[in-house]
């Protein structure tokens, strides 16, 4: 795939989620937050290396292109822009500005943030370069192309919710083993049964995906439809 910077990438656009604190939300629609933090292994067994966004930020600045604030990763619903994005000792920090006087959805999002109903930030990015440690099973993301930073209802601690699993399947992506197992446990499966379904079912789908078999799309749709029928 080709990013807005004209670079070739493999795989799908990825996201990472973080909590947003109420005290960082101003009455004028501005808020502070981190789109990413360094050296933290997430549920995908991935970690962002310090300086991963350096090249991307420089390219964005040269083009005079602001990073959009999207609503729930919907590219058709921009509600503001990020300014002063920098890499500090903790991660990728910045100030967001919601266009509360010009965009109705931005005003709604602001009210939800102030009331702690919307509590997450989620960054959308392409992986430019990464390395994999076979001993630890951890992938280190060393160069990333920043695309957008969204306001989301559920932050990272909720990434194993039913909604997250269904969303991934519906968009042709596979959930992690941890996400799927937690979902199955919530659906009423025993720990042993859930682990068995994950180890066999997801392993087969990943094999098909790695072999680029055309059967993976209908298989994912079938699984997505099955999950959609569950009432939790």
pLDDT digits (tens, 9 = 90+) for 43-82: 678 899 999 999 999 999 999 999 999 998 899 999 999 9
Instruction: Tell me the C-alpha distance between 146 and 21, whole Å.
Output: 22
The most confident of the ranges 37-41, 139-143, 221-225 is 139-143
What residues contact residue 206 under an 8 Å CB cut-off, 6+ apart? Answer: 174
Instruction: Tell me the C-alpha distance between 222 and 158, whole Å.
Output: 24
Give the pTM: 0.63
Would you list the domain boundaries of the chain?
A: 14-157, 162-228
Share of the chain above pLDDT 70, in %: 66
Share of the chain above pLDDT 90, in %: 37
Range 197-219 burial, b when 16+ CB lie within 10 A, else e: ebeeebeebeebeeeeeeebeeb
Decide: 155 and 19 in contact? Cβ < 8 Å: yes
Strand 91-98 relative to strand 74-87, pairing: antiparallel
């Amino acid at each position: 795939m080709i990013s807005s910077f004209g670079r070739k990438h493999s795989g799908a656009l990825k996201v990472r989620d973080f909590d947003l604190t109420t005290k960082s939300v101003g009455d004028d629609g501005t808020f502070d937050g981190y789109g990413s933090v360094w050296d933290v292994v997430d549920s995908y067994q991935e970690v962002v290396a310090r300086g991963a966004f350096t090249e991307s930020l420089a390219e964005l600045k040269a083009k005079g292109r602001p990073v959009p604030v999207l609503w729930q990763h919907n590219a058709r619903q921009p509600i503001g822009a990020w300014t002063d994005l920098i890499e500090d000792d903790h991660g990728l920090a910045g100030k967001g500005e919601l266009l509360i006087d010009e965009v109705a959805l931005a005003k709604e999002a602001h009210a939800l943030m102030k009331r702690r109903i919307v509590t997450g930030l989620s960054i959308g990015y392409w992986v430019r370069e990464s390395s994999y440690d076979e001993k630890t099973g951890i992938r280190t993301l060393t160069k990333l192309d920043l695309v957008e930073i969204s306001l989301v209802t559920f932050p990272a601690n909720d990434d194993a919710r039913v909604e997250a699993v269904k969303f991934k399947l519906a968009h042709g992506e596979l959930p992690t083993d941890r996400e799927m197992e937690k979902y199955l446990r919530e659906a009423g499966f025993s720990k042993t049964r859930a682990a068995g379904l994950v180890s066999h079912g997801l392993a087969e789908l990943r094999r098909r995906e790695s072999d680029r078999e055309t059967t993976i799309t209908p298989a994912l749709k079938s699984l997505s439809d099955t999950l959609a029928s569950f009432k939790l």
